[in-house]
Amino acid sequence: MPASFSAYLRDIHTSLGGLNDGVVANYIPELALARSDWFGISVIATNGKTFEVGDCDRPFTIQSISKAFVYGLALEDRGRDYVNSKVSVEPTGEAFNAIVLDEVTNRPSNPMVNSGAIATTDLIDGKDAADRLKRMLEMFERYTGRSHDINVPVFLSEKTTGHRNRAISHLMLNFGMVSDRIEETLDLYFQQCAILVTARDLAMMAATLANGGVNPVTGVRALDSQYVKDVQSVMFTTGMYDYSGEWAYRIGLPAKSGVGGGITAVAPNCLGIGTFSPPLDAKGNSVRGTQVCEALSRDFGLHVFSAGRPRYDLARLLETPDE
């Protein structure tokens, strides 16, 4: 048994820090500037206790992780039935940026692939573009307890090179699946992907979901309680790109990753995990972040369907003061 939970995190940070597999994303030119040795792990329990090691204050762009939380806001703005009529919740074996819609309903498969995410962003209310962005930033602030900036070079980099996302959007417009303010929505989507977060923010966002939608430190409700299970269900089935099934099988936690190198993972009613390490595996998930979640799930029995006896007693370790 490790001496404390912090000691446990320091150990896995040291051992996984030596893992040099994976490649930093470069399809958005600005992302290629990230260093491959940046590595942070933050864990926040539903009582607000925070444990962290490494680069937990270093800002990076949230990228696809935003999709799960914007989906929650769309559910609040439009209600479940309307959102479901525009975006399905079916896992797909296609790439995250595939140009594919359902042949019968024309819906994108789920809110975590780019087509579904752009259709979801289209549903965000606001009187104009600035107001929609403001509402989105306020939503993230409720989850993290702090305000967020946008990395403008990343936003502009995506806006100028995101031809594929533009193509997907116009296909959806052709089928009437998105409104005709599509350029405004695309800007909003590129901005949401360029929001700056830290590993600690990702842990707090996950801890908020783990805590039924209420930020465990500020006490602020971030998401209407009726939608907490919806957001986590799509994270569980589709959050980790084309590795989602294996992730559910091995790690068993609702999670979402992004090409910026972040992962947010929820252990319901227990804790939130946030990791940051830019090198990605072939499926697009952070190599070290995946390993961190696998270790935590295995060692503490966090898999949502876990029935066995965990290796370590989490409740006891969380209460043990750091030496």
Query: What residues contact 166, with CB distance under 8 A and at least 6 apart?
Result: 186
Residue with Cβ nearer ligand GLU (52 or 158):
158
- Check if 241 is active-site: yes
Q: How far is the CB of 24 from ligand GLU (least distance, A)?
A: 13
Q: How far is the CB of 165 from ligand GLU (least distance, A)?
A: 5
Q: How far is the CB of 15 from ligand GLU (least distance, A)?
A: 27
Residue with Cβ nearer ligand GLU (193 or 266):
193
**CA distance linking residue 264 with residue 200, whole number of Å:** 10
Binding site for ligand GLU (CB under 6 A): 63-64, 96-97, 114, 158, 165, 193, 258-259
**CA distance linking residue 304 with residue 281, whole number of Å:** 24
From 189, 243, 257, 266, the catalytic residue: 189
Buried-state track 232-256, b at ≥16 Cβ within 10 A, e below 16: bebbbbbbbbbbbeebbeebbbbbb
Alpha-carbon torsion (88, 90, 95, 100), positive or negative: negative
Residue with Cβ nearer ligand GLU (70 or 210):
70
Angle 313-41-280 (CA atoms, 0-180°, nearest 5)?
120
Q: How far is the CB of 136 from ligand GLU (least distance, A)?
A: 14
From 24, 83, 197, 259, the catalytic residue: 259
From 24, 42, 67, 71, the catalytic residue: 67
- Check if 292 is active-site: no
- Check if 66 is active-site: no
- Check if 143 is active-site: no
Q: Own/partner pairs for 101-107, CB < 8 Å, 24+ apart?
A: 101/171, 101/172, 101/175, 101/177, 106/172, 106/175, 106/176, 106/177, 107/177
From 241, 243, 257, 277, the catalytic residue: 241
Residue with Cβ nearer ligand GLU (121 or 215):
121
- Other CB atoms within 10 A of residue 38 CB: 18
- Which residues carry out catalysis? 64, 67, 189, 241, 259
